Structure 1
Amino acid sequence: MSFFTEAQVKEYNENGYIVIRGLLTAEEVCQTRDEMKRIIDKWYDNFEQTGEEGSAWEEIVNRDPAVKRGELTPGSRYRAVRRLYRMAARKEEFFVRQAKHEKLVDACQKLIGNDIRLLQSMALLKPPGTAEKRWHQDNAYFRLTPLDIMGCWIAIDRTFLENGCMHVVSKSHHAGVAQHKVPEWAREDQGGMLYSLADAPESAEVTALPMEPGDALLFHGALKHFTPPNKSNCDRYAVQYHYAAAHCQPTVCPIDMENSVQATGGSGDDDKRHAAFDCDPCVEPQFWFFRKAEMTVVGEEQGGVYV
Structure 2
Amino acid sequence: MAASAPRVFFEPKIPDYEPGLYDFERFDEGVPATAAPEALDRFREDGFLMVRGLLPVEEVVAARAELEAMALSDAPDCWGIWYEGALRDHIRLDPSLDREIDGKVGGVGFAPGQEADRLPDVEPDLRARHVRKFMGFFRRHPALGQLARHPAIMALVDRLTGGSSELFQDMALVKPARGREKPWHQDHAYFNVAIDTPIVGVWIPMGEVTPENGCMHMLAGGHKEGPRLHFKRRDWQICDTDVATSGRVAVPMRPGDVLLFDGKIPHGTPTNQTDSFRWAVQYHYRPADAVLIEDAERLEAFGSEGKNVTC
TM-score normalised to the size of structure 1? 0.71
Specify which of 130, 144, 149 is matched with residue 193 of structure 2.
144
CA distance in structure 2 between the partners assigned to 1:41 and 1:128 by the alignment: 16
Kindly indicate whether the alpha-carbon contact (under 8 Å) linking 2:189 and 2:227 is maintained by their aligned counterparts in 1: yes
Structure 2: stretches of 5+ with no match in the other structure: 1-32, 93-121, 307-311
From 17, 23, 31, the counterpart of 2:48: 17
What is the distance in 2 between the residues matched to 1:251 and 1:107? Answer: 26
Question: 1:66 and 1:152 mapped to 2: Cα distance?
Answer: 28
Q: Which residue pairs with 1:252 in the alignment?
A: 294
More helix by share: 1
Shift of 1:68: 5.2
Q: How does 1:1-307 map to 2 (within 5 A)?
A: 5-42=36-73, 45-46=74-75, 59-67=79-87, 70=90, 76-88=126-138, 90-145=139-194, 146-183=196-233, 194-198=235-239, 199-254=241-296, 275=300, 278-280=303-305
Amino acid at match of 2:177: P
Question: Per-residue displacement from partner, 1:34-68 (whole Å, max 9, x unpaired)?
Answer: 111222233xx248xxxxxxxxxx84322224425
Q: What is the CA–CA distance in structure 2 between the aligned matches of 1:142 and 1:153, rounded to whole Å?
A: 17
Q: Deviations over 1:143-198 (max 9, x none)?
A: 31232100010111111111111100111111111111102xx5xxxxxxx10013
Q: Say if 1:212 and 1:200 are closer, same or farther in 2 by CA, change over 3 A.
A: farther
How high is the TM-score relative to the length of structure 2?
Answer: 0.70
Query: Percentage identity across aligned positions?
Result: 32
The residue type equivalent to 2:303 in the other structure is D
Aligned residues: 241
- Secondary structure at the aligned position of 2:126 is classed as coil
List alignment gaps of at least 5 residues for structure 1.
48-57, 187-193, 255-271, 282-307
Q: Which residue number corresponds to residue 296 of structure 1?
A: none
Distance 1:67 1:159, change over 3 A: same
- Structure-2 change in CA distance of 1:216 and 1:157 (3 Å): same
Please provide the CA RMSD for this pair. 2.7
| 1:117 Cα deviation after fit | 1.0
How far apart, CA to CA, are the structure 2 residues paired with 1:5 and 1:211? 16
Please tell me whether the aligned partners of residues 189 and 298 of structure 2 are also in contact (alpha carbons under 8 angstroms): no
CA distance in 1, matches of 2:298, 2:75: 45
- What is the letter of the counterpart of residue 134 of structure 2? L
User: Helix, strand or coil for the counterpart of 2:249?
Assistant: strand
Contact 1:3 1:103 in 2 (8 A): no
CA distance in 2, matches of 1:5, 1:30: 23
Equivalents in 1 of 2:150, 2:75: separation in Å? 31
Q: Distance in 2 between matches of 1:62 and 1:203?
A: 31
Q: 1:155 to 1:40 in 2, by over 3 A?
A: same
Q: Deviations over 1:267-295 (max 9, x none)?
A: xxxxx7984662549xxxxxxxxxxxxxx
Deviation at 1:11, TM superposition (A): 0.9
Distance 1:98 1:250, change over 3 A: same
- In structure 2, relative to structure 1, the CA distance for the partners of 1:46 and 1:246 (3 Å cut) is closer
